Amino acid sequence: MVAFLALRLRSVACSLLLLALLPVAAPLRAWEIEPGTRVPPAPVAEAVAAQRADDPGAARRSMQWSTLTPSAAGAQVHFLVFERDRGQRAWLLDADGRVLATVPRGAAASGEVGTRGLTLALPPAGERPLWLAVESTLGVFPHARIEDLGVFLAAERADWVFEAGLGAVLLALVVLSLAFHVSLRDRMYLAYACYLALMLSALWMRHPVAFRHATALGLEPERVAALGVLASALAAWAVIELMRAAAGIADRHPRALRLLRGLALGNVALAVVDVATILAAPAVAHTVFTLINVLFGLTALGSAGLLVLAARDGSRMPWVFLAGWAPLVACGAWFSLGPLLGAPQPDSPRYYILVSCALQGLIWAVALADRALCLQRERDLAQALAENDPLTGLPNRRALDRALGAARSGVVMLLDLDRFKAINDRFGHAAGDECLQRFATVLDAGLAGIATYGRYGGEEFIAVLASPDVAAARATAERLRADTERLQVDLGGVRVVLTVSIGFAPIVDGAAAALAAADRALYRAKSSGRNRVEMEPS
């Protein structure tokens, strides 16, 4: 069962890799977009202020504007005004302040649900209709792109396929991880399932579609985005717990782990404050959000450092976790701290974040599947050692009792070496051990494939024959007796002939009754001169 789950986990991981390879549409440059660094012209600012006049929450949301210059000669410059702080809406205006297009918070002006944030149609700059997509990384930092309408719609469909596939695969990983946890009782898989579920929640709550439907749920888009930040903070805490369980960091570097867990829990506390203040005190929420980004970066770098230290101690698992963690750490630092530090941002940041999630899921899923297989092999080996007789290599009493308990038909056979105590007393226990080992080879040759057999204790052996044919059982027992009698063991220059007494009984009223009957038959064989086969009805 565990092997099947591990193989399924690997196949799901491969699906993640295929999703990560989907292409991204390249933007067109029929319009040039220049992010503004100053207040837009007065007519534009006045028009936007009039648009926001009836919104009581507008005062808590800052504005960002960009200049759109068409490549066509003599065409008029336009201005894109974007409302920030996780409440997303936008206006496209000309230089005279006329509103050319309006995008309500989180809505698509086209009437179609898009995936990349705010979308609105541009006046033609030439012969082809163009489309403006404003993509907002993590619900905060906007990036405007201009695309051909056909390319834009194709990219929208590709985005839906990618995100739906990624969500389905991550959900499958959650289910498989929970199944591993139930099967192996390893909390690492529970931590991984929690991390995946929180990551899915974070991606959804900071997705443009979630912003669009926030009002229907009675939530402001800002509040939804803040809840996404909280889910991300909880996911980071789950990652620390996952690494603690899987990479052995707790045993190697307990103080550093405690510090890292403190940072992660501190980030969770700040995220709670962000949720509570995002509407009532936006200035406080903005400061808290900046601190959250800083702590995210410290937590990511600290976890990577701990993984490196753990890997240097000789463990392979930390290297695998580090390889999966690195892309998401890099993207998180780039898109969370980059805008604060003035670092350049790509045209499609959300795609990079999703690809990083896919790569992380791929690498960690393969690692966890391999771990599950290793754990199962270790448990199988431990079970084999616990149920095998170390001297003869045959199943021991525990395994035989389990076989007897499962038997519903067949024949139970008891085999006991004759005068074994005398051999031990005369030649020593090492000689007795050799006799037991040689007799085990006789059982292997005569019973393999037709019975479950093993050493029950001392010089006594048990065989449970699957066939209920009593005549065939007697023939098998006689063959074993004869093969044992032909077995001559050289003990210190003295050739000793081994003999065995055998009693058997059919399973009629249960294996326990058959075992008792076989024991009576064995006693009769011993009493009748040994080296005999006797049957007792059960």
- Residue 535: predicted pLDDT: 92
Q: What is the pTM of this model?
A: 0.57
- Is pLDDT of 433 > 60? yes
Q: What is the mean pLDDT of residues 235-240?
A: 84
- Is pLDDT of 165 > 90? no
**CA 55 to chain CA centroid, nearest Å:** 44
Give percent of the chain with pLDDT exceeding 70. 70
Residue 352 confidence class, pLDDT cut points 50, 70, 90: confident
Q: Which of 186-200, 434-448, 491-505 bottoms out in mean pLDDT, i.e. has the lowest?
A: 186-200
Q: What is the mean pLDDT of residues 36-43?
A: 70
Q: Which of 3-7, 322-326, 443-447 bottoms out in mean pLDDT, i.e. has the lowest?
A: 3-7
Residue 4 confidence class, pLDDT cut points 50, 70, 90: very low
Candidates 459, 460, 478, 485; catalytic one: 459
- Is pLDDT of 72 > 80? no
- Residue 41: predicted pLDDT: 79
Is 397-535 a CATH 3.30.70.270 domain?
yes
Q: Which of 20-29, 221-230, 310-319, 460-469 bottoms out in mean pLDDT, i.e. has the lowest?
A: 20-29
- pLDDT, tens only, 166-183: 778 778 888 888 887 787
- pLDDT, tens only, 369-387: 777 777 677 777 766 667 7
Of the chain, the end-to-end C-alpha distance in Å amounts to 38
Q: Which residues are CB-contacts of 361 (< 8 A; sequence separation ≥ 6)?
A: 13, 16, 169, 170, 173, 196, 324
Q: What is the mean pLDDT of residues 289-301?
A: 81
Q: Measured between alpha carbons, how far is residue 336 from residues 270, 297, 344 in Å? A: 16, 8, 12
Average pLDDT over all residues of the chain: 76
- Residue 144: predicted pLDDT: 66
| Tokens (6 digits) for 57 | 């929450």
Q: What is the mean pLDDT of residues 339-350?
A: 63
- Residue 344: predicted pLDDT: 67
More confident residue, 137 or 457: 457
Q: How many CA atoms lie within 13 A of 418 on its CB side?
A: 22
Q: Which of 227-231, 255-259, 321-325 bottoms out in mean pLDDT, i.e. has the lowest?
A: 321-325
- Is pLDDT of 225 > 70? yes
- Residue 7: predicted pLDDT: 46
The strand order across the sheet containing 460-465 reads 451-457, 460-465, 411-417, 500-506, 533-535
- Residue 350: predicted pLDDT: 64
- Residue 507: predicted pLDDT: 92
- Is pLDDT of 461 > 90? yes
46 given a catalytic annotation: no
Residue 101 confidence class, pLDDT cut points 50, 70, 90: confident
Distance CA(21)–CA(95), nearest Å, equals 41
Q: Which of 24-33, 346-355, 392-401 bottoms out in mean pLDDT, i.e. has the lowest?
A: 24-33
- Residue 340: predicted pLDDT: 61
Task: Locate the domains of the chain by residue range.
Answer: 397-535
Residue 29 confidence class, pLDDT cut points 50, 70, 90: very low
Across 163-187, b (16+ Cβ under 10 Å) vs e yields bebbeebbebbbebbbbbbeebebe
Residue 333 confidence class, pLDDT cut points 50, 70, 90: low
Give percent of the chain with pLDDT exceeding 90. 16
Residue 338 confidence class, pLDDT cut points 50, 70, 90: low
- Is pLDDT of 13 > 60? no
Q: How many CA atoms lie within 13 A of 532 on its CB side?
A: 12
- Is pLDDT of 119 > 70? no
- Is pLDDT of 27 > 50? no
| Tokens (6 digits) for 495 | 């050739």
| Tokens (6 digits) for 537 | 């009805």
Which residues, listed in sequence order, are joined to residue 148 by a DSSP beta bridge?
A: 130
Q: How many CA atoms lie within 13 A of 382 on its CB side?
A: 6
Q: What is the mean pLDDT of residues 503-527?
A: 92
- Residue 481: predicted pLDDT: 92
> Coil, helix or strand for 70?
strand
Q: Do 70 and 125 meet the contact criterion of CB atoms below 8 Å apart?
A: yes
